[in-house]
Structure 1
Amino acid sequence: MKNKKTLVLGASANPERYSYKAINSLTAKEHAVVAIGQKEAEVAGVKVHTKQIPLKNIDTVTLYLNPARQRDYYNYIISLQPKRVIFNPGTENPEFYQLLKVNNIRVDIACTLVMLATNQY
């Protein structure tokens, strides 16, 4: 399995949140994970940062932020030049799809957890 360095945006230390489950699933499948959320925490050995930190070689950004909250991250995500951005259920954002496509970043409207469970990640 090819390791895909993934940024989980909207990360939470609450075990009931999908971002928490995604971090656990990604690390279990041996993907390198970086996480940014509202509160500093640690999930599955991954530090949750609260600021937009400089990153390199990000393959995938998986979103757990509603469209209004995504706006603060448009330029940041584009600057990372990931291969793709996954819009999980509830994060769909046609405005952002267009910006990503103009910057040659693939848009996946999917569920990270399902993709991992079915080996389509």
Structure 2
Amino acid sequence: MKTLVLGASNNSDRYSYQALVRLQKHQHEVVAIGRKAAVVEGIHIQEGLPEIEGVDTVTLYMNPTHQQAYYEYIIGLHPRRVIFNPGTENPAFYALLTSHGIHIEVACTLVLLATHQY
């Protein structure tokens, strides 16, 4: 399963960084988009709206205001689900995703991984 970490950072203090590392450690294929290009544990953080095929899960690490620019992009990826990590909750986006048949999960990716629920 391919996971897109949206809002990825190369700052090891950020939860998005920890998610990149832990997803990879749990054998998940990881792609990442952030505000600046970087490499974390061999994962290239891309900028912009790159073409990505086969995304199963998008895990969000950006506040609702910044999410708006990615609504159509995320829907166009046709993921099975979008995980809204703490601080990213966005009921307006939940409704939009649901109307496109995309499952939403309000949860913490790090907790899901630690409890084998990912």
TM range (shorter): over 0.9
Q: Note the residue ranges of structure 2 that are not aligned, 5 or more in a row.
A: none
RMSD of aligned residue pairs (Cα, Å): 0.4
Take 2:107 and 2:58, find their aligned partners in 1: how far apart are those partners? Answer: 12
**1:1-121 matched pairs, under 5 angstroms:** 4-121=1-118
Structure 1 stretches of 4+ moved >6 Å: none
Q: Note the residue ranges of structure 1 that are not aligned, 5 or more in a row.
A: none
Identical columns (%): 57
Where 1:13 maps in the other structure, the secondary structure is coil
- CA displacement 1:55-75 (0-9 Å, x = unmatched): 111000000000000000000
Given the two structures, how large is their TM-score scaled by the length of structure 1? Answer: 0.96
Take 1:69 and 1:114, find their aligned partners in 2: how far apart are those partners? Answer: 24
Given the two structures, how large is their TM-score scaled by the length of structure 2? Answer: 0.99
**How many residue pairs end up in the alignment?**
118
- Alignment-mate amino acid for residue 117 of structure 2: Q
**Structure 1 residue 83: Cα displacement:** 0.2
